[in-house]
Amino acid sequence: MTALTRQSRPGQARGAVLIVALLITALIALALGSYLTLNLGTARLARQSYQQSASFHLAEAGAEEAVWSFNQANAHNPAAWTGWTVQQAAAWCKFSGFDFGGNTTGTIKVYVDNASPAGADKPTVVAMAVVEAPGTPPTTKMVSVTLARRSYFATGIVARNSISFSGLNTSVDSWNSNPSNDPAAAAVPYSAAVRHDGGSVATLAVQNSAVLVNQASVWGSVATGGAAPAVGTNGSIRGASTPAGVQIDPARVTTDFTADLPLITAPVDGTPIASVGATLGTLGQATKWRCPSISLNGSKTLTILGDVTLVLTASTGSALDITGNASLIVPAGSSLTVYVEGDCKIAGNGLANANQRPGTCQIWGTSTSAAGQSIEVAGNGALKTVIYAPNADVKVNGNGDIMGALVANTVTFTGNASFHYDESLANSGGNTPFGISRWRELTTAEDRTRWQGVFSGW
């Protein structure tokens, strides 16, 4: 008896293959769908991230536009606020037409709470940027910036080129004549009891001889544009936190210093005078004078009365020369601001400032030529003054005390003078340009709500 062999039907085999194919197709479709969803989500996130970045940078650009307008106004540019709406103290402006491609556009609204700040006012700038694109919600970023006038004297001694101390007992330190930052407060005189370790010395130069500390004692910090300062066997760079036995504290030395030293222009107004007598100015009043030069010798004295601004118009040669026992006296309660393009020599009894704040006696070098001016200070007394002369070679001779700040092309100490930087000068803005003192992004609903009202309707 033979066994029968069962054979499968062709239709059943084809059906099984079809089911498997359908399952594979379904899995592929599911995978493709997930992949496409992932890609779309990633693209959406990338687009949103791009919009957030773009709106953030737009907001910063808006704030920078406001800072530019402030500084143009400070430079007496009549077009400083052109395009802005200015009402009373406030100002605002809208910047539009920013095209990021792909139908993505941006706008900026900038609001300034005080477009005409006076004195130590610190105006606030708020910028709101919005970036819009089809298919995505608008992205909004807001930044708030507080401005303050920058000081020319944020560092005690600054030179465009070299700084050299050649005395055996020269020292640098600091104190604060106005710790409360209140102009009405009584000035604090320098003494060992109020001595600080903020005696800062800095140069933009990069060569090895940029700062020759030599045998000087710097109670503070030294900064250069590239090379390490040269310190002698008896010299030091230290501070209150420097461990005992350390001659050069590496935490107080930097080699990446940079600064902008803009040239100063002398005022064009003032009463012309051919020469000066025994006094200049009027008590209790602000006066401006223009004189070719001043030369005091023998036992001559010139006493400043009131708030005096003096423009010495001689562009070459000696513009201010004090020798012998002569003296230029600034009594307590008076102040002197000198603009000078020519050379200065202050010797003899020199410049006697009876005020405790060095900022009450200012010398502004206006030479436009590199190394085109010489300012020499000599004496063994106490000189309280600030000197800003970025194109002048300043030389200090003698064994006295110098209190204030120096900015020059080069600075050379040839005696054993002690330099005391007045830290309060870092807060003295005067008519200097504005800079950013505080910056923050407004991210909370509370912060944004505070300013939303000023951005509506325009």
Per-residue DSSP letter, 206: -
Task: Of 324, 288, 328, 326, give the one whose Cα is nearest residue 306.
Answer: 288
Q: How far apart are CA 323 and CA 299, in angstroms?
A: 9
Q: How far apart are CA 299 and CA 325, in angstroms?
A: 5
Geometric angle at alpha carbon 365, from 361 and 366, rounded to 5°: 135
pTM, rounded to two decimals: 0.76
Tokens 């940029």 correspond to 210
Task: Of 109, 112, 116, give the one whose Cα is nearest residue 146.
Answer: 112
Average pLDDT, whole number, for the chain? 90
Residues 6+ apart with CB under 8 A from 92: 84, 85, 109, 110, 111, 112, 454, 458
Q: Is 348 helix (H, G, I), strand (E, B) or coil?
A: coil
The DSSP bridge partners found for residue 131 are 106, 139
Q: What is the DSSP string of 229-291?
A: PEE-TT-EEE-TTSPTT-SB-GGGEES------------S-SEE-S---SEEEEEEEEEEEEE
Per-residue DSSP letter, 207: S
pLDDT value at position 1?
46
Domain boundaries, the chain: 45-150+435-455, 157-432
pLDDT value at position 46?
67
Per-residue pLDDT of the chain (458 residues; tens, 9 = 90+): 455 455 556 666 667 777 877 778 877 877 777 666 666 666 666 677 888 899 999 999 999 999 999 999 988 889 999 999 999 899 999 999 999 988 899 999 999 999 999 877 899 999 999 999 887 889 999 999 999 988 899 999 999 999 999 988 899 999 999 999 888 899 999 999 999 999 999 999 988 889 999 999 999 999 999 999 999 999 999 999 999 999 999 999 999 999 889 888 899 999 999 999 999 999 999 999 999 999 999 999 999 999 999 999 998 899 999 998 999 999 999 999 999 999 999 986 789 999 999 999 999 999 999 878 999 998 778 899 999 999 999 999 888 899 999 999 999 998 888 999 999 999 886 678 898 989 999 999 999 999 988 999 89
pLDDT value at position 262?
87
pLDDT value at position 147?
94
pLDDT in tens, 233-271: 999 999 999 999 999 999 999 999 998 898 888 999 999
pLDDT value at position 40?
62
